[in-house]
């Protein structure tokens, strides 16, 4: 997947930034530290700026694609990947806002979220490998994370629904259901990234879901 150096470097910065935010969210689940919460919220603006820079550069590259020989499908893929990465960042921020008002922090079980967020981090780490090597295998691995997160979300939803029936910590449990849903949607973003990379590699739009 060949694009200008600026687009590729900005995407690398964006991947590193979003991965850090997911790590901060994982740490926040464990510690409920207000400093970590604020750090995640404050970094969203940086993520948005990187996404805008990539989109602006892609727009410019599109207009010059005939002279540079850049494939329009590649440019579109980088735009979509940047958008999906920003979406993961937004979901991190929203998760913080759901967690902050939880009264009974013992309901926020690290075990429920640790492996899920680690999967998201792993998926982001695989993006560069898939792009650099035009590697369908790595791209498919990114997409498979969505299935794992979806299965885990269904289990958590059932768990929290059963707890709600016992009428305990209702507001906390509803917040936790939203957090679980946010993580499941991170999987949707990763699946979209996977499909963008696969579409470039096979030369036509791919929908794997």
Q: Tens of pLDDT along 134-164?
A: 899 999 999 999 999 999 999 999 998 998 8
Give the pLDDT band (50/70/90) at residue 87.
Answer: very high
Q: Tens of pLDDT along 157-205?
A: 999 899 888 876 788 889 999 999 999 999 999 999 999 999 998 887 7
Question: Model pTM?
Answer: 0.92
Q: Which fold has domain 5-202?
A: Methane Monooxygenase Hydroxylase; Chain G, domain 1 (1.20.58)
What's the whole-number mean pLDDT along residues 46-59?
A: 94
> Can you tell me the distance from the alpha carbon of 23 to that of 185, in angstroms, rounded to the nearest whole number?
17
Range with top average pLDDT, 32-36, 43-47, 188-192: 188-192
Domain ranges of the chain: 5-202
Residue 184, pLDDT score: 97
Residue 65, pLDDT score: 61
Of 207, 8, 19, 25, the residue nearest 126 (C-alpha): 19
What's the whole-number mean pLDDT along residues 116-132?
A: 95
Type and span of the H or E element at 70: none
> What is the residue-wise DSSP string for 81-150?
HHHHHHHHHHHHHHHHHHHTT-S-GGGS-HHHHHHHHHHHHHHHHHHHHHHHTT-HHHHHHHHHHHHHHH
Alpha-carbon separation of residue 16 from 52, 73, 127 (angstroms): 16, 24, 11
Does position 35 have pLDDT exceeding 80, yes or no?
Answer: yes
Residue 44, pLDDT score: 87
Here the tokens at position 96 are 């913080």
Please tell me the number of Cα atoms within 13 Å of 198 on its side-chain side: 19
> Can you tell me the distance from the alpha carbon of 111 to that of 71, in angstroms, rounded to the nearest whole number?
44
Of 112, 103, 92, the residue nearest 159 (C-alpha): 112
The rounded percent of the chain whose pLDDT value lies above 90 is 66
What's the whole-number mean pLDDT along residues 6-20?
A: 95
Residue 67, pLDDT score: 46
């Amino acid at each position: 997947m060949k694009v200008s150096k600026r687009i590729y470097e900005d995407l690398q910065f964006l991947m590193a930034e979003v991965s850090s935010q997911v790590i901060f969210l994982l740490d926040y689940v464990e510690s409920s530290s207000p400093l970590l919460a604020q750090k995640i919220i404050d970094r969203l603006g940086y993520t948005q700026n990187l996404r805008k820079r990539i989109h602006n550069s892609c727009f410019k590259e599109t207009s010059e694609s005939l002279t540079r020989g850049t494939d329009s499908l590649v440019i579109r893929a980088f735009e979509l990947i940047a958008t999906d990465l920003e979406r993961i960042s937004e979901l991190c921020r929203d998760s913080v806002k759901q967690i902050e008002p939880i009264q009974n922090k013992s309901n926020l079980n690290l075990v429920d979220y640790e492996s899920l967020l680690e999967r998201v981090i792993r998926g982001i780490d695989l993006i560069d490998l898939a792009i650099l090597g035009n590697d369908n295998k790595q791209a498919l691995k990114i997409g498979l994370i969505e299935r794992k997160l979806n299965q885990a979300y269904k289990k958590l939803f059932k768990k929290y629904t059963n707890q709600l029936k016992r009428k305990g910590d209702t507001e906390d449990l509803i917040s936790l259901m939203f957090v679980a849903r946010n993580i499941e949607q991170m999987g949707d973003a990763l699946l979209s990234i996977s499909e963008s990379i696969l579409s470039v590699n096979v030369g036509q739009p791919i929908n794997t879901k």
